[in-house]
Structure 1
Amino acid sequence: MALSRRGFPLQWVMVTVIVGITLLLSAILITRAYIDQRDLLLEAAESSSEHLAGRLDSANLSLLAPVQNSIQLLVHDTLLEARSLEQRLERLPLLVQVLQSNPVTSAIYAGYPDKDFVLLRQLKSDRVRQLLNAPEQAMWMVQSVDHIDTDRVERYWLFFDSKMALVERREVPDYSFDPTLRPWYEEAQGKSEPVLTSPYLFFTTREVGVTLSRQSASGGVVGIDASVEEISRELAALKPKGAHRLVVVDPTGTVVAWPDLNAMLIQQGKDVRLANLGELGVPALEKMRAVSKLDGRMVQFNEGEEQWFGLRQPLLAMQGASLELLMAVPASELLAGIRDRRQAYVYWALSITLLALFIGAAMAYRLTRPLDRLSSWVRELARFDFSRSGIKPSGVREVNQLNEVLGGMANAIRHFQAISHTLAREQQLERMLPGVAEHLKASIEAEESSIYLLDPETSTLTLASGREESTRLPRTVKGDSNNSKMLGAQLEKALPDGQGHWLVTPLKGREIEPAGFMVLRITDTDPKAQQALANFVDELSGSAATAIETRQLIEAQKRLLDAIVHLLADAIDAKSPHTSGHCERVPELAQMMVDEACKSSDGEFERFQMSEEQRYEFHLAAWLHDCGKITTPEYVLDKSVKLDALYNRIHEVRTRFEVLWRDAEIRYLKGLLAQENEAGLHERLLQEQASLQADFERVARLNLGAESVTDEDLADVHRIAQRTWERNFDKRLGLAEIELERMPSEGELPVTEPLLSDRPEHLVSWNGRRPPVEADNPDNVWGFDMKLPQHQQNLGEIYNLTQRYGTLTPEERFSINNHIVQTIRMLTSLPLPRQLRRMPEIAGNHHERVDGQGYPRRLHAGELSIPERIMALADVFEALTAADRPYKKAKTLSESLRILAFMARDGHLDRAVFKLFLESEVYLEYARRYLPEEQIDTVDRRQLWLLAKGEG
C-alpha cells in the first residue's frame, strides 16, 4: 500500500521547528544574558549585605548576652547595700571575677540614691592607661564618689595591680560625677528588668559603647559598660575588597560603626562625640540613604558624574533604636565582569545554535511515525499503566528493538509489583516463598527458580519453594557451617547438572547468617549479562531476606508471647491446687465455641466471622482471662471453711472448749476436796461437758458452710459467744509489728474473754491501698462500678460463722472478684499493638451479665461482643464441672447445663450463646475430653432450651 504524499516530511518539519526555536531562543538568551547577569550580581550583593547584617547582629548579641547574665546576679549582691567606700571595696573580688568572665565588658559600677558612686575598671589598652595617667603596674582602677555628709564629699581613684594589691590612692577633687543624672541611671528607674542604653561615648574613657543597668530593691542601680568598638572592627574585617563603602548608623544618621575608628569620633574642645553621616566625607552614602528604603533592596543612583548602587539593611534593635547597615559601590566596579563576558556569551550562543541545527536534522532524518506510538506507550508506563505488552512492529529496527525492551521492562515491572505485593502482604512463609520464586522466574525469563531456607541450628538448607513437578532439586542440603560462601558452594555442588547456568544467591538481610538461598537456572551464556543479572538478584534478595527474617521474627515473638502467657496461666493454676487447669481448660472450651459461632448462620451469628488476627487476640485473652488471680491471696482462693485464714481457726476455738472442759473438771475436783455433795457435783460436771460438746458441734457444723445459716443458728452462735474463759498469757507477746499495730493494749492478767468474739484486731484496714473500683472515684479510669467493703479483711469469729451462705465474707468475695479488676488493669497497662487492643476487654468482661448486673463495669448485652459473651459462658461452665474446687462438689453434665439454662433465663448469660452451646454439642465434646465418665450423663437439650426461655 502506497504511503500518502500529503503534508510535509517529518524530518523537514522537525528541522524547521528546531531551527526556528533555536534561533528564537538564541536571540532571547543573548538579549537577556546581560540583564540576568546584572540581576544576579545585584541579588548576590543584597544577599551578601543580609549575611553581613547577620554577622553584625551576632556580634551585638555576643556583647550583650553575657553582660545581661552578670547584671542579673549583681543586682542581688550586697554591693548595693554598702554605705561606705570600705564596704564597697570588700566586693571587689566578685566584680573582678565578673569582668574577667566577660571579655567585652570594660567597667562595672553602682550608683546610689544619695549620689554616691563606685566603679571598677579593667585597664586593658594603653590608650585608656595614658588617658587616666595610671601607674605602670596598675591593672585595675576604682573610681569612687562618697558623700560622707552634706558638706563633705570624697572623690578618689584607686589603682590596683593584677593581685588586687593597692598601688596608688589618688584624690581627684575635680571629678564631679553625679550618677543620678546619667541616662543609664534614669532609664533604670522603676524597671524590673535590665535596661540597655543606646550607643554613646563613655564619660571617662571616651569609648563608644552601651550600658546595661538595673535597679535593685534598695533603689541603687548597678551598671556594666560594654564597648561596641567590636562592631567597627567586625565591619572592617567583613568589608569586601575594592571601592565598597560600609557604615552603621542609627535612625538620626549618627555613625555607630565605621572601619576607620578615628574618623567616626569628632573632637569638640574637651568633648568627643560621634560623627554624623555627612561628616564622613562620603557623599554617595548620604545620597543613597536619602533615595533608598530600609528593606535591603539594591537601588541605583547618580552621585556627581558617577553611577552608584547601594542599599539599606536593617540590624537588630538596641533599646528601641534600630540600627542600619549602609552599603554603596560604584557601578563601574560592580558590573565590570559582566561587560567583559557579554561578547563571549554571544559567540557561545551562536556556536550552540549551529550544533543544535545539525543534531536536530540528524534526529529528524532517523525518526518516523512509530515514535508517536512509542511515546504514547511510554506515557502510559510513566502513569504506572503496565497493561499493554507492546506496539505494532515498525520498519525501523531501532524502534522495534525499543519496543521489545519496553515490553520486557513492562513485564518485569508487573512481576516486580507482584513480588513486592507478596513480600508486603503475605503473612505465611509457605505461601509467600513460592509466589516470589514464580514471579522472579517470569520476570527474568529463567528456566527454574527456587528458594532454600537455612536452619541455623543444624546448618541445613531446606527447599521451601519450587514447582511441585520439579523433582530434580534436592529437598535438603546439609552444610558444614552457617558461612554463606561455604553453604553456597555446597548447595551449588548439590544441584543437578544440565543445560543452563545455576545462579545461587544468598538471602542476606539484617542478620549475620543468611536466611537462605535463591536458586535460578538461566540460559543466557553472556558473562556480562550473567553478572548484571547476579547483581540485580543480589539486590532483590535483600528485600526477600528481610521479609523472611521479619516473618520468622514475628513467628518467634508470637511463640515467645504464647509461652509467656501459658507460663503465667500455669503459674496461676499452680498457685492453688484447687483451681489447677482452669486457665488451660477455659481457652479450649472458648475456642471450640468460637469455631462453632463462625460456622453458624443462625441469628446474630449469621455475619459473625473472625480473622486470624482476631482469633489470636481471642486466644491470648482466653489464656489471660484470670491473670489477675495472681494478686488474690491463696487462703481466699482455697477457703473451704468459714474460720479459715491461712489455717483453720477451728483449732483455736476447740482449744478454748478444751480449757472450759478442764475448768469444769477442776471445779468438780475442788468440790470433792471441799466435801460437797459428790452426786450433785458429778451431775453438774456431766451437764457442763454435754453442753460444751453440743456447742462445739454446732460451731464446727457452721464452720463447714455447707448449708445456709438460719435465725436459730445465729442465736446459738451469739449464745455460745457469751460463754467466757480465762486467759493467763499476754496475747501481744511474739507478734509481728504489723499485728501489734492492730492489737489493742493489754490489761492486767488473767483476763476473762468470750468464747467467740469479733475483736478490733480482726479488722484489717485498706491502709492506703484502697482499689479505685467505685464509680465516683476520680482514679477509676477504667469505668469500674463495684461496691467496696469498708475493710480489706474482717477475721471476726462471730462475723465469719454467721455468714448466711458459703464460707466467704463480703470482704473475701470482693477480694476474689477483684481479680477481674486486676486483670483489666494489668492488661490495659501493656503496650499492646493495634491487633491486640481488644484483648483486655475480652479477657476482663467474662464476669459481666447481659442484664447489666455483672462486674466490674455493669455492662449490658449491647456493650458486650460475641467473643466476650462466649468467654462468660465458658468460664461458668468450666467452674461448674470442675472437680477440684474445695467449696463444692463437681456437678454432672446435666446439672451444669441446667444451671446455665437458669442463668440464661435470668439474664446472667447470653441466651443465643447458650443455644449455640446446646445445639452444637460443644459441651459433650468438652466433657469427653476433660470430665470423668461418672459426670457425663444424659442431657435433654429441648427441656434445657425451654428452661432458658422461661417456658420450662
Structure 2
Amino acid sequence: MAHLRKGWPLQSIFAAVIVVTTLLLSTVLITRAYLDQRELLLEAAESSSRQLASRLDSVNLSLLAPVENSLKILVHDTLLQADTLDERLQRLPLLVQVLESNPVTSAVYTGYPDRDFVLLREIQAGIATKRLNAPPGAAWMVQSIDHQPEGSVERLWLFYSKDLALLESREVPDYLFDPTSRPWFQQAQNKDAPRLTPPYVFFTTREVGVTLSHESPSTGAVVGIDASVQEISHQLRDLQTDTAHEMVVVDRFGTVVAWPQLDQMLIAEGQQIRLASLGELGVPALEKLMSVSRPDGKMVRFDERGETWFGLRQPLLTLQGESLQLLVTVPEHDLLAGINDRRVNYVYWALSVTLLALLLGTWVAYRMTRPLGHLSQWVAELARFDFSREGIKRTGIREVNELNRVLGGMANAIRHFKAISYTLAREQALDRMLPAVAEHLKASVGAEQSMIYLLDPDRNELKLASARTQEWKTALPASIQCESTDPKLIQAQLEAALPKGKEHWLVTALEGRESLPSGFMVLGMGNGNGKVRQTLVSFVNELSGSAATAIETRRLIEAQKRLLDAIVRLLADAIDAKSPHTSGHCERVPELAQMVLDAACNSREGEFAGFSMSDDQRYEFYLAAWLHDCGKITTPEYVLDKGTKLETLYDRIHEIRTRFEVLWRDAEIRYLKGLLEQGDGAVLRERLIADQERLQADFALVAKLNQGTESVSDEDVKALEQIAGYTWLRHFDKRQGVSDKELERMPPERDNLPVTEPLLADRPEHRVPWNGRRPPVEPHDPNNEWGFDMALPEYQENHGELYNLTQRYGTLTPEERFSINNHIVQTIRMLTSLPFPRHLQRVPEIAGNHHERVDGEGYPRRLNAGELSVPERIMALADVFEALTAADRPYKKAKTLSESLRILAFMARDGHLDPAVFKLFLDSEAYLAYAHRYLTPEQIDPVDKRQLWQLVRSG
C-alpha cells in the first residue's frame, strides 16, 4: 500500500512507454534483417565456391591444352622412329623447344617397344645439387637406356650446357628402368588420342603432376610429357583470403591433389614419396565435410569439435576421365562475422533512435517535473545530512519557488549548525574555535554581527574573544569589569555596555556544568519582529550549552596541561635540588635539545631534509627532555655528589686520619717508654722522627689517592697494601651502637679486647648484598620486561677502604657507577608505569634512550642506530654536551667550548653519538647559542668546525 500511495513519476511513465515500444520494433526489424542477410551470405558463399571451381577448371585447361598440342606434334616426329642414341640426340633442339614453350612441363621422353628410353629434363639448381650431382654449368640432362644388338644395355646420363654443349657423359649401371611397364606407356597403347594419368608425385622433382602420353600409330613407341598441376595449389593459396577458410582439391578417393601448404601434401615413406590423404592434413572440418556433403555445390552446416562450420563440395571438370572435387569450409563465426557486426551496429542505431525518441517524447514532462524532482532529491540529500548542494534556480512556478526558498533557509541553518558542532568537537585551541563558532552562528541565523565574551572567574572580568564584523571591533568594549558575581547581573551589565541599545542585541549566557557561565554569546539581529526573535532565542539557548561545554573542556585540558608541565618541572627541580652540584641540568638539557630539534626540522639537506614534527610530537619531546633524568630521584645523594673515593654520607678520610693520629701517638708513647727504661735518648728520638715522617708520607699518599684526580699505578697499589699492613689496637667493641642491618654483616668478635686491627681493610660489613632487591636489568631475568641488557655487580654497595682507594680511575666503584647508571632504568620503569595518552606514548622511549649509543654499546638496552629515532639521538648529544660544559660538577672542571666539541667529535667517530646529529649541531651553531646563555666567558673560545668534522670522518 505504501508503494501505491507513493506512485510513479510522470516522467518515468512517459519514458518507459517510449523505450519499450521502440525496443520491440527495433528487435523485430533487427532479427528480420539478420536472417535475410544470413541467407544472402550463404548464397554468396556458394556462388563464390562455384566461381572458384570454374577458375580452377580454367587453370587446368590452360595448363594442359598446350601440353596436349605439343604431344600431338611430337607423336609424328622422327624421334619415335630413331633406333640409336645418336639419332635421338639429333632431336634435342626440338625437345628443348617443347619444354621451354610450356612452363608447367618438367620432362619430355619417349619409350620404345624394345624397352629403349630417352628423356630430356631441365636441370634446376636444387635438383642438380641434391640428386643428380650435375657438373657446374649444366642446364639440360638426357637420361638414356639403349639396348645394343649384341644384347648389352647402355645406360647413360648426359649433361648439356644452356647452348646444348655436352659437358659430361656418365654411365649409370644401376639406372634400371623399363618404360613399357609404366602406366603412361600402357594407357597409351592402342589409343588414337593422348591419355592422361591420375595426379601423382614425380620422383625426381617431387612435384605433383600428371603425365600426358600418346602412341605412335606407325612404330608403337610412346611419347610422354610430365606436366605439374601445382599451379592449382598456388591458386588456392592466392584465393585463401582468410586463414579461417580451408580449401582443398581431392580426387574421388580422397587423395589431396592441391593444398595451399604444398609441403603438407607430400608424405615420405622410406625412399618413396606419395600424396597425402584428406585425413592426413590435420583439418578435421574438411574430413567431416567429405563425409556429410555431396558433390553438388550446395552449402551444408555441420558441427565439429564443439564448433559450427559451413562447407560445400564443388566438382571440377573431368581431366581425361579423372574426377576432381573442390572442398571449401569456414567457421560459422567467421562466415557470419560481417552480419554480426552489422547486427551490433543495428542495435546501436536502434538504441540511438530509442534514446532520441525518449528525449523528444519526455521533453515536456521533463520541463514540468524537473523542479519538483530536484527539490525531492534535495530533501533526500538533506535527510542524509548532505548539505553541500545548493537550491534550484528560479522557475515559472510560484509554489516551487517558495518551497525552494524555505528549504534553502533550512539547509543553510543545518549546514552551519553542523559546522558549529564539528568545530566544537574537533578544534582544540579556543582562539581558533570561538571565531569559527561565531561566524557560523552569524550565518545560520542571518545575524548582522556576532561575538563571544569569555568570563575570567579569577578576575571577574568579561573579555571579548571573537568579533565577526570588522566595523564593530572598535565599537565593542574589549573587556568589562563585572560589578557582581551573579550571572544575571553580569549579563545585564554586558547588555548595557553594547552600543545601540539592548533591543538590537540577542545576548545568551554560555551555561555549562559549572555554576558560573563560561561567557556570553552576542548576536546583532537588527529590527526583527518579536516572534522571530523568540525562535532564535530558543535555538541559540540550545546551542549555547554545547559551546559552554566545549569551552569548559578546552579550559580544563589547558589547565591539566599546565598542571602536567608544572609537575614535570617540579620533579626536575627536585632532582636538581637534591644534588646542589647538578642543579640546572634538568633545565638546561631540554633547552639545548629543543635548539637542536628546531635545527633538524628547519634543515633542507642531508639526512634531515624530510624530517618534521607535529605539535603533539614536539610536546612529547618537550616532556621527555624534562623527564629524562627523573630516575635520579632514586640515586643516593652521596653517590651523585661523591667527590672522593672514601666519601659516603661523609668522607671517611677523617676516620683513617684518626687512625694515623693513633699510630702517631703510639710512636710517641714508644719513645717515652724507651726514655723511662733509660734507653739511648738520641737513638729513640731519631726513631720517633723517622716513624712520624713515614706516617706523614703514607697519609699524604692515601689522601692523594682518595681525591681520584689521577690514575692509580701498580706502585701506588703496592704502597697502599704496605700501609694497610700497619696495625693499631682497638679497645672498644665495634658491634656496639650500630644499626641492625650493619650488625648482620659483621662477624662476631673472636678475640678479647683489645684487638689488633690493620690500618686499612676491606671488612665484611663493608659489602652490602642485594638481599632480594636485585634490579631486573640482566637479559635472563624473568622480571626484565623492558629489554634491559646491563651487567649487575655482585654487591649493592662496597665500602671497602682498600677497594675504594685502589679504583684505577675516578672516585666511583663499579657498584656506585651502576647505581648512577641505574637512574635510566628507574626513569624507564617510572615513565612506563604512567598512563600517558596516545599522543605522548613515546615519552618513556625518548627520555630513557639518551644513554644508548649508535654502535649498540650503550645502556640500558644496547640499542643501535637503526633502533634510535632522531629525537632520541638528539637527546643523547644534548645530555653529553651539557655535562661536559657544566661548571657545577664536583668531580670535574667545566670544559671550554672547543674542548667539549672535540670530545663530542671523538664520540661521534667512535660510535657513541650519531655523526649526522653532531654535524647538524655544528652547522646550525646551536652550541654557540647555548654557550652565550649558559657558559662563562672563559669557556667560550674559537671553534674550528671543519677540523672537528674531519676528525669525525677520520674514523
TM-score bin, normalised by smaller chain: 0.5 to 0.7
- Equivalent residue for 1:748, pick from 749, 752, 762: 752
Partner of 1:594: 597
Residues 502, 520 of structure 1: 8 Å contact kept: yes
- Equivalent residue for 1:495, pick from 495, 498, 502: 498
**Structure 2 runs not aligned, ≥5 long:** 1-7, 15-364
- Equivalent residue for 2:833, pick from 829, 837, 849: 829
Alignment partners' CA distance in 2, 1:9 and 1:502: 48
Partner of 1:696: 699
- Equivalent residue for 2:537, pick from 528, 534, 544: 534
Alpha-carbon displacement from aligned partner over 1:239-259 (angstroms, at most 9, x marks no partner): xxxxxxxxxxxxxxxxxxxxx
Partner of 1:815: 819
* 2:897 paired with 1:893: yes
TM-score normalized by structure 2? 0.61
Letter in 2 for 1:874: A
Partner of 2:215: none
Partner of 1:418: 419
Flag as ranges the 4+ runs of structure 1 deviating above 4 A.
8-11
Partner of 2:916: 912
Residues 499, 523 of structure 1: 8 Å contact kept: no
1:481 Cα deviation from its structure 2 partner: 2.7
Alignment partners' CA distance in 1, 2:645 and 2:517: 64
1:741 Cα deviation from its structure 2 partner: 1.2
Instruction: State the secondary structure of the residue aligned to 2:522.
Output: strand
Partner of 1:445: 446
Alignment partners' CA distance in 1, 2:553 and 2:788: 39
- Equivalent residue for 2:632, pick from 629, 634, 638: 629
Letter in 2 for 1:476: S
1:524 Cα deviation from its structure 2 partner: 5.2
Alignment partners' CA distance in 2, 1:925 and 1:396: 75
Alignment partners' CA distance in 2, 1:375 and 1:406: 11
Partner of 1:641: 644
Alignment partners' CA distance in 1, 2:532 and 2:480: 29
Partner of 2:431: 430
1:500 Cα deviation from its structure 2 partner: 6.8
Closer, same or farther: CA 10–709 of 1 in aligned 2, 3 Å: closer
Alpha-carbon displacement from aligned partner over 1:725-749 (angstroms, at most 9, x marks no partner): 1111111111121221112112310
Alignment partners' CA distance in 1, 2:449 and 2:731: 96
Aligned residue runs from structure 1 range 499-538, under 5 A: 501-523=504-526, 525-538=528-541
**Structure 1 runs not aligned, ≥5 long:** 1-7, 15-363
Alignment partners' CA distance in 2, 1:372 and 1:670: 130
Alignment partners' CA distance in 2, 1:726 and 1:856: 47
Partner of 1:381: 382
Partner of 1:883: 887
Largest Rg, 1 or 2: 2
Instruction: State the secondary structure of the residue aligned to 1:738.
Output: helix
Letter in 2 for 1:406: L
Residues 389, 411 of structure 1: 8 Å contact kept: no
Partner of 2:673: 670
1:451 Cα deviation from its structure 2 partner: 0.4
Alignment partners' CA distance in 2, 1:498 and 1:491: 11
Residues 643, 650 of structure 1: 8 Å contact kept: yes
Alignment partners' CA distance in 2, 1:369 and 1:841: 63
Letter in 2 for 1:855: Y
* 2:799 paired with 1:795: yes
Partner of 1:612: 615
Alpha-carbon displacement from aligned partner over 1:654-708 (angstroms, at most 9, x marks no partner): 1111111111111111111111122221121111111111111111100000011
Closer, same or farther: CA 802–9 of 1 in aligned 2, 3 Å: closer
Partner of 1:116: none
Number of residue pairs matched by the alignment: 594
- Equivalent residue for 1:921, pick from 902, 919, 925: 925
Closer, same or farther: CA 753–374 of 1 in aligned 2, 3 Å: same
Alignment partners' CA distance in 2, 1:369 and 1:717: 108
Closer, same or farther: CA 10–728 of 1 in aligned 2, 3 Å: closer
Partner of 1:42: none
Letter in 2 for 1:710: S
Letter in 2 for 1:570: D
Letter in 1 for 2:438: A
Alignment partners' CA distance in 2, 1:782 and 1:676: 73
Letter in 2 for 1:810: P
Closer, same or farther: CA 547–396 of 1 in aligned 2, 3 Å: same
* 2:847 paired with 1:846: no
Instruction: State the secondary structure of the residue aligned to 1:377.
Output: helix
1:513 Cα deviation from its structure 2 partner: 1.0
Closer, same or farther: CA 543–671 of 1 in aligned 2, 3 Å: same
Alignment partners' CA distance in 1, 2:713 and 2:453: 76
Alignment partners' CA distance in 2, 1:498 and 1:764: 83
Residues 664, 685 of structure 1: 8 Å contact kept: yes
Letter in 1 for 2:382: L
Closer, same or farther: CA 373–9 of 1 in aligned 2, 3 Å: closer
- Equivalent residue for 2:777, pick from 773, 781, 787: 773
1:473 Cα deviation from its structure 2 partner: 1.1
Partner of 2:656: 653
Alignment partners' CA distance in 1, 2:501 and 2:420: 28
Residues 495, 502 of structure 2: 8 Å contact kept: no
Closer, same or farther: CA 369–834 of 1 in aligned 2, 3 Å: closer
1:603 Cα deviation from its structure 2 partner: 1.9
Aligned residue runs from structure 1 range 318-357, under 5 A: none
* 2:579 paired with 1:576: yes
Alignment partners' CA distance in 2, 1:397 and 1:576: 86
Aligned residue runs from structure 1 range 101-116, under 5 A: none
Letter in 1 for 2:807: Q
Alignment partners' CA distance in 2, 1:929 and 1:10: 83
Alignment partners' CA distance in 2, 1:624 and 1:372: 65
Alignment partners' CA distance in 1, 2:10 and 2:421: 43
* 2:446 paired with 1:482: no
Letter in 1 for 2:409: G
Residues 524, 530 of structure 1: 8 Å contact kept: no
Alignment partners' CA distance in 2, 1:937 and 1:421: 56
Aligned residue runs from structure 1 range 42-121, under 5 A: none
Partner of 2:392: 391
1:498 Cα deviation from its structure 2 partner: 6.2
Residues 503, 522 of structure 1: 8 Å contact kept: yes
Alignment partners' CA distance in 1, 2:753 and 2:822: 42
Residues 500, 521 of structure 1: 8 Å contact kept: no
Instruction: State the secondary structure of the residue aligned to 1:826.
Output: helix
Partner of 1:948: 952
Alignment partners' CA distance in 2, 1:750 and 1:838: 62
1:469 Cα deviation from its structure 2 partner: 3.9
Letter in 2 for 1:374: L
Residues 597, 916 of structure 1: 8 Å contact kept: yes
1:479 Cα deviation from its structure 2 partner: 1.3
Alpha-carbon displacement from aligned partner over 1:870-903 (angstroms, at most 9, x marks no partner): 1101000000000010000010111111100100
Structure 1 stretch 657-666 or stretch 517-526: which is displaced more? 517-526
Partner of 1:406: 407
* 2:558 paired with 1:555: yes
Letter in 2 for 1:753: E
Alignment partners' CA distance in 2, 1:685 and 1:891: 47
Partner of 1:873: 877
Closer, same or farther: CA 494–872 of 1 in aligned 2, 3 Å: same
Partner of 1:784: 788
- Equivalent residue for 2:867, pick from 857, 860, 863: 863
Aligned residue runs from structure 1 range 181-200, under 5 A: none
* 2:475 paired with 1:472: yes
Instruction: State the secondary structure of the residue aligned to 1:604.
Output: helix
Alignment partners' CA distance in 1, 2:706 and 2:9: 115
1:482 Cα deviation from its structure 2 partner: 3.1
Alignment partners' CA distance in 1, 2:527 and 2:832: 59
1:384 Cα deviation from its structure 2 partner: 3.5
Residues 820, 856 of structure 1: 8 Å contact kept: yes
Alignment partners' CA distance in 2, 1:728 and 1:469: 97
Partner of 1:186: none
Partner of 2:373: 372
* 2:461 paired with 1:457: no
